[in-house]
Each structure stands twice: as structure tokens, then as C-alpha cells.
Chain A
Amino acid sequence: MKLSREEVKHIAFLARLGLTEAEVGKFRLQLSNILENFEMLQQVDTSDVLPTAQSIALQNVLREDEITAESLPQGEILANAPQQDDNYFKVKAVLE
């Protein structure tokens, strides 16, 4: 599986990850090499095998939908915000 530069750029776009042209070149080679190696998985017969998403048998862990006393104060939540304004997280305009 040899990736093209365009494919690498498309993957980066899906992940919203900015890459320099040099990184596109480097990752193209490295990811191609890794994916080529992983082609071996296609040798495994999995026709009657269900996928495993997690290794423990727990299912549908539920709890009562109730308010707990442990909510954090607004100030503590905002303390790590790169930008804030009047007790809000400040973001760039989403709609132009």
C-alpha cells in the first residue's frame, strides 16, 4: 500500500492536522512502510469471527440519572482556557 502525497494530505485534512510539505513527504514514506507491513493481516481467515471492541464482558453499564454534588466551579473549569471572555470560552467565529 503506497500512499500518494494527495492521500496523505487528505488523511491530515480528515484529522484537521496541519502538516508542512516536508512532513507530508516523511509521513508518506513511513506510513506506506507501516501499512505495507500490516497487509499481512489479510492472510488471516476471519470469515466466522466477530470483532472485539473491548476485552471485558460488561455491557450497558447504567446508573441513575441524578445530579451529583461533584460539579466543578466555573472558575476552575475556565482556569485552563487559552482564551476566555466574561466567563465564557472564547473561540474564533464558526459562521462567517
Chain B
Amino acid sequence: MNELCQLSLKRAHQLLKQRKISSVELTKAILMRIAEVEPELQACVTVDEDMALKQAEVADKHISAGKIQPLTGIPTLIKDVICTKGMRTTCSSKMLENFIPPYDATVMKKLKAQSVVIVGKTNMDEFAMGSSTENSAFFPTHNPWDLNRVPGGSSGGSAVAVASNETIFALGSDTGGSIRQPAGFCNVVGLKPTYGRVSRFGLVAFASSLDQIGPITKEVTDCALVMNAIAGHDPKDSTSVPYHAPDYTQSLVPEVKNLRIGIPQEYFVEGMQSEVRTIVEVAIKKLEELGATIDWKVSLPHTKYALASYYLIAPSEASANLARYDGVKYGFSYADADNMWEALEKTKQFGFGDEVKRRIMLGTYALSAGYYDAYYLKAQKVRTLIRREFDQAFEKCDALVSPTSPTVPFRLGEKLEDPLQMYLSDVCTLPINIAGIPAVSIPAGFSNGLPVGMQIMAKPFNEEILLQIAFAYEQATDWHERKPPI
């Protein structure tokens, strides 16, 4: 492996700025690494070498002219749910296998304004529905720490690519844990921003009240740099908030003294692997050693209802959002139908995979006459209670800490036939989306060679405190420096 692809974003930027390396050299190193490991990992859906090298040449010209921003000339991979103008955006679905967006998502516009190098698009669970990346219509992605295990999902491709040096950083999206759970499973940093912090314009919609785009990076510093690039108000997304986005690098202070960190007992759930529990408890004690005050007895009693609430709300929103795939304007279209209704039904039948169909069915049921109050409305009321409990906890605590997932990465195929077991993989991450608060997963240790992530949560629009705690922990440990054997 060319050592350039091992660089963090921060270090790559320094070297580019000092002209010790060029963006073309860096991009070539990344492309070689992709060619080397992709046959085994399958993290990417699309890689465009020519386009990448052209963008790198442009970036090098900007750098020569003295115009360099933190992301200029940095190669990146983007989860294939984010629209990239002129570059295929599939959502890892047969439905969008040949879809080429005529416009860029706002986050892509922001990255391109810094002259970033877009190398390609990463694999995911179809339409971001899943926790293992096995629901991709194309192929499963493999965990670089053990090729027989899943990388998590739905942003599995992005997390694997960052962990195995196929990119300097990546973007993912997170509706119920889709950034944090794969980040935890792959030993990288993954941040889900507060709902409304990053524009969703151009993010293919799954569950509109829960979706957020966020960074997946090798280190906490890189996470702050990417947040600086993508956060902020966007008039094109009416749910993006008109608040000023701070300079997140100002939060990179290795200091947790005077911070009060709560440990919600309900997150150490039944069925949690004891090794995962032990590792996260050791990590929490590390934070205590560093000077944080730990409150081990925080309680969020409605946590046990979060899974049911989430898996009614998210599929309900999905069933409405995915009604647009009618085979008329874009995407797969069943051509041999006799009439319009048959065309519509067959387009969905052959265009969507099992999990997407399951969620459309679940959502349609929860929204249908006679069941709306008992399921959808009830779930929304429970949502209120879950958010209220978080608000109360944050009156006493600056942050909360839990495991990112109750288990280490599971084996490919292990949960594929049992959807409910797969859903339980998100049990620690999805309450955060229900409440709309920010959370980050950072490397916290290993169980038999498999990564364990620690999740840090904060109140809305307080990503700074997440980055501060994450940075302090990262400075005091070396888990993030461990790299997979591939």
C-alpha cells in the first residue's frame, strides 16, 4: 500500500499546502488502493478514475495559485444515496441502477466549492434500509476486520472505505444509526449531526423527519473539518435551520474536566454482548480518569419503546417517499404491462428488494384507515416522550455515553432472514434520530479482534461538545490508530 492513502484528512491537507504532495499523486495512490482491495471488500458501487484525476488536476492548479481550503484536492467517496450531478446515483437499488442526477445535492455543491476530488460512490443497504449493507441489490460489502462479517449499515461502503484507506474521508447518511453503527463496526469516526444542521437537499429521501447526512472519517479532527464544509442553512431544505454553524475545529480541545457525562442504564440492554459492555465501561472510566464527572445512574425509561416507535415512523415516511418510483420520470420501468396499474405494480415488484418492500408494507399498514391512530399516531406520541426524556437528561448532563451497537459485527447472512433481529442492531442508535439530537461513534476497543464503538450524544445543535469529548478520548487512547489486516 502506498502510504499516502493512509493519511488523515488533516495531514493530507498539510502536505498539499506545503506542496510536498500533489492532489494527483494522492488521488493515484487512492485509486491504486481501491483497485487492490475492492475485489475482496466491495465497498464501492461506482469509481470514476478519469473524472477523479481531472478533478485532482484542477485542485492542483488552485493550490499552485495559492487557493487552498481544508478539503481542496482531498479524494473522497460518497454514499450512493447523495445526488452527484453527472455521476450515477443508485441507492444500491435496481430501481435507480441507471439514474444520473441532473443536479448536485447541496453537500456536494459545498464540497465541490472547495475543489474536493470525488472518486466514486459507496455501497449501502438499498435506499438506506438495513444494518449490514447486505440489502444492496448489487453485492454485499465485507468488513475489513473479518471478511466473513458485515460492515454494518446502511453506510457500510463508506465506513469500510475509510477504515481500509480507500478514501481520505467519506460521507454517509443516518436515519436510525446508518453512519454510527457501521463506523463502530469498522473502527472509524462517524457523526450524525442534529436534524436540521446539514442540508438534506439532494439526499434521496428515506424517512424525511429522521434523515441526516454526516461525515465518516479516520480521526475526530477530520470529522470537524468535514462538518465545517457541509453544515449550515440551505434555503432549498426548509428543515435546515437558519442558525450559524460554528467553526468545529475550535472544539478540538482535549479537555473533559467540569463536564458531566451521563450513562443511560437502558442502553446497556438485555442481549448485549458482555465484552461490548465491558469495553464501553472501561472507555467511560477513561473519561472519568481524564476528569469528567460520570453519572452512572441516568435513566431514560421510554428507551425500550424506541425501536417500535422508530420502525413505525420510518417505514410510514418511507412508504410515502418511495411512492414516487412509478417508472415514469426516471428509474426502472416495467415495460411489458398491459395497462398503467399493472406497469406501476410490476415496476415496484421488480425494482425493489425484500427489505424495501417490507418497509413499504409496514408503513402503508401503519398509515391505513383503522390503524393510523393505533400505530402511526401512537408512535409519534411516544416520540414526544422519548425526546422529552433526553431534554430532561441534558438539563443535568453535558453529554450521554453508550455503546454504539449491542454487538460486535455479526456474520454475513446471520440476520438476513429475521428482520426483527436485524432491527435490534439499531437499538442504541435509533432513539437519537427519533429525538433529532446529534451523536458520534468513535473507536473504543476490540473484542477478539473486532471493533467496538462508543456513542456520545448531546443536546440539539451541540455537536461541539461531542467533538470535544471524542477528541479528548482519542488523544488519550490509540484505538483509532489500529488498522484492519487487509
Identify the B interface with A (CB < 8 A). 98-100, 102-103, 195-196, 209, 235, 238-239, 241, 302, 304-305, 308-309, 311-312, 319, 323, 327-333, 335, 337, 339-341, 343-346, 348-350, 352, 357-358, 360-362, 364-365, 368, 374-375, 377-385, 387, 419-420, 423, 434-437, 460
Query: How far does the Cβ of B442 sit from chain A's closest Cβ, in whole Å?
Result: 23
**Separation of A36 and B305 alpha carbons in the complex (Å):** 13
Contact partner of B305 among A41, A49, A76, CB < 8 A?
A41
Contacts of B308 in A (CB 8 A): 37-38, 40-41
Query: How far does the Cβ of A5 sit from chain B's closest Cβ, in whole Å?
Result: 13
> Given contacts A49-B384, A79-B102, is CB(A54)–CB(B239) below 8 Å?
yes
B349, A44: Cβ atoms closer than 8 Å:
no
A82, B327: Cβ atoms closer than 8 Å:
yes
Q: Does A52 contact B (CB under 8 A)?
A: yes
> Given contacts A11-B368, A81-B330, A83-B333, is CB(A27)–CB(B196) below 8 Å?
no
Contacts of B195 in A (CB 8 A): 54-56
Query: How far does the Cβ of B437 sit from chain A's closest Cβ, in whole Å?
Result: 8
Contact partner of A18 among B309, B348, B361, B434, CB < 8 A?
B348
B312, A38: Cβ atoms closer than 8 Å:
yes
Contacts of A11 in B (CB 8 A): 361, 364-365, 368
Contacts of A56 in B (CB 8 A): 195-196, 239, 241, 436, 460
> Given contacts A50-B381, A92-B337, is CB(A16)–CB(B348) below 8 Å?
yes
Query: How far does the Cβ of B45 sit from chain A's closest Cβ, in whole Å?
Result: 17
Who on chain B is nearest to A94 by CB? B340
**Separation of A34 and B423 alpha carbons in the complex (Å):** 10
Q: Does A4 contact B (CB under 8 A)?
A: no
Number of interface residues of A (CB under 8 A): 49
Who on chain A is nearest to B238 by CB? A61
Contacts of A63 in B (CB 8 A): 235
**Separation of A93 and B339 alpha carbons in the complex (Å):** 7
Who on chain A is nearest to B364 by CB? A15
Query: How far does the Cβ of A6 sit from chain B's closest Cβ, in whole Å?
Result: 13
> Given contacts A56-B460, A61-B238, A81-B330, is CB(A18)–CB(B345) below 8 Å?
yes
A44, B305: Cβ atoms closer than 8 Å:
yes
**Separation of A54 and B52 alpha carbons in the complex (Å):** 38
> Given contacts A23-B357, A56-B239, A82-B327, is CB(A17)–CB(B309) below 8 Å?
no
Task: Bits for A58-85, please: 1 = Cβ < 8 Å to B, else 0.
Answer: 1001010000000010001101111100
Most A CB within 10 A of own CB, among B209, B331, B375, B381? B381
**Separation of A42 and B361 alpha carbons in the complex (Å):** 21
